[in-house]
C-alpha cells in the first residue's frame, strides 16, 4: 500500500506490517519516518536491529542468511537496508522479491532509499514489497501544504501561532523543513509556549546574534574551551537571551547523540554524517566532539546538564543562567569548569 508521511504513524498504531519502504529526498521527514517505524518495532518486541548499507559489491546473499538466522536470545529483529541509489540491481531485486514472497518470521524489513520515479515503483521487486507492506513516499512540502505543516508543528510544540507568524516563518525557511523544525524549537524555548505573533518570529528568526551563537557551538565542539567562554561573555554583554544560547547547544547535542547512537549500533561513520547533514567545513569539529565524548551515555550526560540549565533559566532551580551555560559549553568542549572564570550576576 502507498502511504504519505502523515498517514504513517496512524497506520503504525493499527498494524505493524512485515515490510516498510521509505523513499524520498526530504531529510527531516525521512528520518522521522524511520524513527517512527523503529519505535513501533521496539514497542512490539523487535529489540534487535541489523543495519546494511548497500554499496558496490554488497553481498545480497548475506541478506538471505540474515533472514534465516535466529538471535541467540530469540529476540525479534528489525533488518534495515539503506540504498544509496534508487535501484538494488539484479541481485538485490531477486533478494527483495524472495523476501517479500516469504517474509521471515519475527523479522521486519525497513528499506530506505532516495526518491524513485514511476518506473521504479512499477518494478517487480517494488510491487512485491508493496503487496506485503507499505511504501511511504516522501515529497517536498510546498505552498499551502508548507503552511499547514508549520502550523501543525507549532501546535504540537504548545505554540499558538497567528496566521501571519506561520506565513513569515514559511518565507524565512524557504521550504527547508529541518530549518523550520529548528526555528520552531527555538520559539518554544524563547516563549515557553502560548501565542506567537509575526513580530516574535521576526525577532527570533532574523536575530543576527544567531550567527555568533552557531560559532560558539562549533568552538565548543572543537574543544576550544577558552574561546568558548569568551564568546559566551560577549553574548551576555550584548544582551542575547540565554534560552537562545541553550537552544543552539541542545540542538547540536541532540544531533550528535543521535549520530553517536547510530555509530554504536554498527553504522558506518561517513553515511551517518551525510544523513545528519554534517558539511565538510564542520566535519573536523564534529569528529573532535565524537572522539571527546565517546558513546551515547556521554551525550546523555550533556543532555542532563542542558536540562538543568533550562530549569535554572526558567527559575525552576536556583542558580545563574549564564553560569550554567558556561558549565555546559565547557563540558561540551571536554574541559572542567574554569576556576578563574568570574561568576556573573
The per-residue pLDDT for range 120-138, each reduced to its tens digit, is: 999 999 999 999 999 999 9
Given a cut of 80, is residue 207 above it in pLDDT? no
Q: Give the distance, in angstroms, between the CA of residue 124 and the centroid of all CA atoms in the same chain.
A: 32
94 with 101: CB under 8 angstroms?
no
Grid cell 503504525 is found at 12
Output the CA torsion sign for 148, 27, 267, 76.
Answer: positive
16 with 108: CB under 8 angstroms?
yes
CA distance 34 to 112: 8
The pLDDT of residue 340 is: 44
CA distance 343 to 323: 7
pLDDT band at 343 (very low <50, low <70, confident <90, very high): very low
The pLDDT of residue 199 is: 87
Mean predicted confidence (pLDDT) in 97-109:
91
3-state secondary structure of 33: helix
- Closest of 71, 72, 54 to residue 63, by C-alpha: 54
Q: What is the DSSP string of 42-103?
A: HHTT--EEEEEEE-TT--THHHHHHHH---TT---EEEEEEESSS--HHHHHHHHHHHHHSP
The per-residue pLDDT for range 210-259, each reduced to its tens digit, is: 446 778 999 999 999 988 998 898 888 878 889 989 999 999 999 999 99
The pLDDT of residue 210 is: 47
pLDDT band at 337 (very low <50, low <70, confident <90, very high): low
* Burial degree of 121 (CB within 10 A; 0-12, 13-18, 19+): middle
Name all domains of the chain by residue range, CATH numbers in brackets. 2-138 (3.40.50.300), 143-205 (1.10.8.60), 209-332 (1.20.272.10)
Paired residues of 161 in beta bridges: 196
The pLDDT of residue 332 is: 96
Query: Would the pTM count as exceeding 0.85?
Result: no
CA distance 150 to 136: 21
What share of the chain in percent tops pLDDT 90? 59
The per-residue pLDDT for range 13-66, each reduced to its tens digit, is: 999 999 999 999 888 999 999 999 999 999 999 989 989 988 888 888 877 666
Given a cut of 70, is residue 194 above it in pLDDT? yes
Amino acid at each position: 500500500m502507498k502511504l504519505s508521511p502523515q498517514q504513517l504513524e496512524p497506520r503504525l498504531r493499527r498494524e505493524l506490517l512485515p515490510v516498510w519502504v521509505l523513499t524520498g529526498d526530504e531529510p527531516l521527514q525521512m528520518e522521522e519516518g524511520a524513527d517512527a517505524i523503529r519505535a513501533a518495532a521496539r514497542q512490539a518486541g523487535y529489540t534487535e536491529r541489523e543495519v546494511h548499507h548497500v554499496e558496490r559489491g554488497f553481498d545480497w546473499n548475506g541478506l538471505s542468511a540474515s533472514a534465516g538466522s535466529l538471535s541467540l536470545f530469540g529476540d525479534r529483529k528489525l533488518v534495515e537496508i539503506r540504498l544509496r541509489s534508487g535501484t538494488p540491481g539484479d541481485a538485490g531485486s531477486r533478494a527483495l522479491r524472495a523476501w517479500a514472497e516469504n517474509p521471515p518470521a519475527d523479522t521486519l524489513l525497513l528499506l530506505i532509499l532516495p526518491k524513485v520515479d514511476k518506473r521504479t515503483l512499477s518494478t517487480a521487486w517494488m510491487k512485491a514489497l508493496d503487496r506485503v507492506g507499505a511504501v511511504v513516499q516522501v515529497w517536498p512540502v510546498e505552498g499551502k501544504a508548507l503552511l499547514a505543516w508549520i502550523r501543525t508543528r507549532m501546535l504540537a510544540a504548545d505554540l499558538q501561532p497567528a496566521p501571519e507568524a506561520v506565513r513569515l516563518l514559511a518565507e524565512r525557511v524557504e521550504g527547508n523543513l529541518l530549518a523550520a523544525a529548528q526555528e520552531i524549537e527555538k520559539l518554544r524555548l524563547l516563549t515557553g509556549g502560548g501565542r506567537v505573533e509575526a513580530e516574535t518570529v521576526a525577532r527570533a528568526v532574523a536575530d543576527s546574534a544567531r550567527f555568533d551563537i552557531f560559532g560558539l557551538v562549533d568552538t565548543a565542539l572543537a574543544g576550544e574551551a577558552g574561546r568558548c567562554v569568551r564568546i559566551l561573555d560577549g553574548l551576555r554583554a550584548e544582551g542575547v537571551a540565554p534560552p537562545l544560547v541553550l537552544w543552539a547547544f541542545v540542538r547540536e547535542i541532540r544531533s550528535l547523540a543521535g549520530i553517536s547512537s547510530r555509530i554504536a549500533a554498527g553504522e558506518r561513520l561517513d553515511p551517518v554524517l551525510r544523513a545528519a547533514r554534517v558539511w565538510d567545513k564542520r566535519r573536523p569539529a564534529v569528529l573532535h566532539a565524537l572522539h571527546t565524548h565517546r558513546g551515547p551515555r556521554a551525550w546523555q550526560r550533556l543532555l542532563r546538564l542542558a536540562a538543568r540549565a533550562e530549569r535554572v533559566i526558567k527559575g525552576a532551580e536556583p542558580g545563574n543562567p549564564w553560569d550554567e551555560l558556561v558549565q555546559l559549553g565547557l563540558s561540551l568542549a571536554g574541559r572542567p569548569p574554569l576556576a578563574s572564570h568570574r561568576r556573573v550576576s
